[in-house]
């Protein structure tokens, strides 16, 4: 049964004898271009032709690359011809035979991808529960170690590595000002424009100033700044520490007697706690400025807008936004560092840690914001 593959320079001939003894004759170039079609054709032929032994004659093979060797290995001990078929390969040129014999059947079986395990619903639930408990233990241990490290470093201010803190301030804070400015300004503009129509129905457009001050100071400005930092800086923390763990730099620190949490994490968390409130205050004033521009476009004077806003916006409202910024900063930096330290091995591990840090940080920011809102309502603030 000769077969020549269209568009390739390889061909094969498969014959099956009466006693189940088969022969496979390979000729031409066994390369990546010809192997794809040949592999599928051989699988189809083997399913139609049962046999107990197979002799592969490769004397006609003039060229063989990695793809060709993969086919020969799949024939020899990969079960391509069938799990019970005994296969022998003959006729390979000396240089190709040397390459072929570099890998043994044990190497093939060890490196062959394993089929996915099928587990029951009970096992899946148990595995998820165990992972949740293990993750909770890691998080509690991390919080305790960070708290201890912060307390120890606060007692010894020189041990804080202020140079690293200022570097984080610049990378995560100063470099984030353009995007925070743009988003805050646009959000202030959007809220003012969206509120203008409904307020005009009641002749109360002047109260846009009251709404802007309260919403931006207590809620939106800090929330926007935190979400931007979670996507921009929290992910950077996770990527930095994750790369260091993959490269075993964290193990090197521990070998030298240095705690990665005290040496790397504490500085980032302290920078996040100090940085986020400052960016929150900045976002408050930029977003209010955006709304003020809209109100001035409507014909209100700057003095009128200021007097109206001063009646409703108090220092307590700004302090609430600042306190939220402190909470958000601790969450963003802590989650980013934790996900970086939890990075596993593998080429996609750092990316997975980065993605997990952003998703978890944004989720926890929203949860924390909701908890603070409930507390403020109960405290009548």
- Taking only the tens place, the pLDDT of each residue in 219-269 is 889 899 999 999 888 888 888 888 888 888 888 888 887 778 888 888 888
324 vs 346, residue with greater confidence: 324
In this structure, are residues 285 and 182 in contact, taking their beta carbons and an 8 Å threshold? no
End-to-end alpha-carbon separation of the chain, Å?
A: 87
Which of 8-12, 54-58, 87-91 is least confident?
A: 8-12
Residue 115, pLDDT score: 64
CB 63 within 8 A of CB 94: no
The segment with the largest mean pLDDT, out of 114-128, 163-177, 238-252, 366-380, is 366-380
Contacts of 313 (CB under 8 A, 6+ apart): 210, 213, 214, 217
pLDDT at 12: 79
Structure tokens at 264: 């790397």
pLDDT at 322: 92
HEC letters along the chain: CEEECCCCCEEEEEEECCCCEEEEEEEEEECHHHHHHHHHHHHHHHHHCCCCEEEEEEEEEEEECHHHHHHHHHHHHCCCCCCCCEEEEECCCHHHHHHHCCCCHHHHHHHCCCCCCCCCHHHHHHHHHHHHHHHHHHHHHHHHHHHHHHHHHHHCHHHHCHHHHHHHHHHHHHHHHHHHHHHHHHHHHHHHHHHHHHHHHCCCHHHHHHHHHHHHHHHHHHHHHHHHHHHHHHHHHHHHHHHHHHCCHHHHHHHCCCCHHHHHHHHHHHHHHHHHHHHHHHHHHHHHHHHHHHHHHCCCCHHHHHHHHHHHCCHHHHHHHHHHHHHHHHHHHHHHHHHHHCCCCCCCHHHHHHHHHHHHHHHHHHHHHHHHHHHHHHCCC
Q: What is the pLDDT of residue 65?
A: 82
- Cα distances from 31 to residues 3, 9, 71, 99, 111, in angstroms, run 17, 9, 10, 14, 21
Confidence of residue 113 (pLDDT cuts 50, 70, 90): low
288 alpha carbon, distance to own chain's centre: 34
Instruction: Give CA–CA dist 72/99, Å, rounded.
Output: 11
Predicted confidence (pLDDT) at residue 334 exceeds the cutoff of 80 = yes
The predicted structure's pLDDT at residue 110 = 65
CB 232 within 8 A of CB 126: no
Mean pLDDT (whole number) for 126-148: 84
More confident residue, 254 or 189: 189
Angle formed at CA 268 by CA 264 and CA 272, multiple of 5 degrees: 170
CATH superfamily label, 2-111: STAS domain (3.30.750.24)
How many Å apart are CA 378 and CA 381, to the nearest integer? 8
Confidence of residue 4 (pLDDT cuts 50, 70, 90): very low
- Alpha carbon distance 35, 73 (integer Å): 13
pLDDT at 96 (0 to 100): 79
Cβ neighbours for 373, distance < 8 A, ≥ 6 positions apart: 219
The answer to whether residues 54 and 23 touch, using CB atoms and an 8 Å cutoff, is yes
pLDDT exceeds cutoff 70 at 30: yes
pLDDT confidence bin for 1, thresholds 50/70/90: very low
pTM: 0.67
Alpha-carbon gap, residue 109 to 83, rounded angstroms: 13
| Mean pLDDT for all residues in the chain | 83
In this predicted structure, the answer to whether residue 372 has a pLDDT above a threshold of 80 is yes
At 78 the pLDDT is: 62
| Domain spans in the chain, listed from the N-terminal domain onward | 2-111, 139-378
The average pLDDT across 340-347 equals 83
List, edge to edge, every strand of the sheet that includes 53-64. 2-4, 10-16, 21-30, 53-64, 86-90
pLDDT score of 83 more than 90: no
């Amino acid at each position: 049964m000769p077969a020549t593959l269209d568009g390739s320079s390889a061909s094969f001939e498969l014959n099956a004898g009466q006693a189940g003894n088969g022969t496979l004759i390979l000729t031409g170039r066994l390369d990546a271009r010809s192997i794809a079609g040949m592999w599928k054709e051989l699988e189809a032929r083997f399913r139609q032709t049962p046999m107990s032994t197979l002799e592969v004659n490769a004397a006609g093979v003039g060229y063989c690359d990695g793809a060709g060797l993969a086919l020969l290995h799949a024939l020899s001990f990969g079960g391509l011809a069938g799990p019970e078929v005994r296969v022998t390969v003959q006729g390979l040129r000396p240089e190709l035979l040397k390459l072929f014999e570099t890998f043994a059947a044990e190497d093939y079986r060890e490196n062959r991808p394993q089929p996915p395990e099928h587990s029951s619903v009970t096992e899946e639930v148990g595995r998820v529960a165990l992972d949740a408990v293990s993750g909770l233990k890691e998080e509690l241990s991390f919080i305790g170690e960070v708290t201890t490290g912060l307390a120890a470093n606060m007692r010894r201010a020189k041990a804080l590595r202020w140079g690293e803190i200022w570097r984080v301030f610049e990378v995560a804070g100063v470099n984030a000002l353009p995007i925070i400015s743009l988003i805050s300004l646009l959000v202030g503009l959007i809220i003012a424009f969206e509120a203008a129509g409904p307020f005009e129905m009641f002749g109360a457009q002047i109260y846009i100033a009251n709404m802007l001050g309260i919403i931006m100071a207590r809620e939106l400005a800090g929330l926007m700044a935190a979400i931007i930092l979670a996507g921009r800086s929290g992910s950077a923390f996770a990527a930095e520490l994750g790369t260091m763990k993959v490269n075993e730099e964290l193990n090197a620190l521990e070998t030298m007697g240095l705690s990665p949490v005290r040496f790397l994490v504490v500085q980032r968390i302290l920078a996040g706690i100090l940085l986020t409130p400052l960016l929150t205050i900045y976002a408050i004033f930029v977003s209010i400025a955006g709304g003020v521009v809209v109100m001035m476009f409507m014909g209100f004077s700057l003095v009128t807008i200021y007097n109206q806003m001063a009646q409703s916006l108090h220092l307590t409202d700004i302090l609430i936004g600042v306190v939220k910024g402190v909470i958000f900063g601790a969450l963003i930096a802590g989650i980013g560092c934790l996900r970086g330290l939890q990075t596993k091995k593998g080429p996609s591990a750092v990316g997975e840690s980065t993605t997990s840090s952003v998703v978890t940080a944004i989720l926890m920011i929203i949860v924390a914001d909701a908890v603070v809102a409930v507390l403020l309502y109960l405290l009548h603030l």
